[in-house]
Amino acid sequence: MKLLYFAWVRTRTGIAEETVSPPAGVNTVSALIGWLCARGPGYAAAFADLKAVRVAVNQEHAGFDVAIKPGDEIAFFPPVTGGRDDKGSAAGF
C-alpha cells in the first residue's frame, strides 16, 4: 500500500510518501498506525496525538477504524488550516 504524509506529519516522519507491505493482520488504519510507530521514533512522534491527525483512504476522509488492504492509498495529515478574518493566519480570507 502507498502511504502519504502531509504538513507536520510529513516533517515528523521525515518522508512524503512510501510504499509498504505490512503483515496481513494490519488491516485497519489503527493497526497500520501501530505498526508504523514500531518502525521508528519519527513515526511515533507523528502519531503521538491522534486527535491532531486526519486520515484519508483512497482520497476519501476516513476514520481510524476503517479497513485497509494492499493497493490502498492512505494519507495522514493535520486538520486543514484556515484563519480568522481579524487575526488568524496570513491567508486573509
Partner 1 sequence: MIKVQQQDFDLAAEIAELTRGRTDIGGVVSFTGLVRDVSDGAKVAAMTLEHYPGMTEKQLAAIERDACARWPLSASLIIHRYGRLMPGEQIMAVVTASAHRQAAFEAAEFLVDWLKTKAPFWKLESDGAAESWVEARDSDDTAAGRWEKG
* Binding interface with partner 1 (CB under 8 A): 4, 6-8, 56, 59, 75, 77-84, 87-93
Residue closer to partner 1 by CB (options 6, 34) is 6
Order of all β-strands in the sheet with 54-57 = 17-19, 2-5, 73-77, 54-57, 60-62
Least distance to partner 1 from the beta carbon of 17, Å? 11
Least distance to partner 1 from the beta carbon of 4, Å? 7
Distance separating alpha carbons of residues 31 and 82, to the nearest angstrom: 30
Residue closer to partner 1 by CB (options 70, 79) is 79
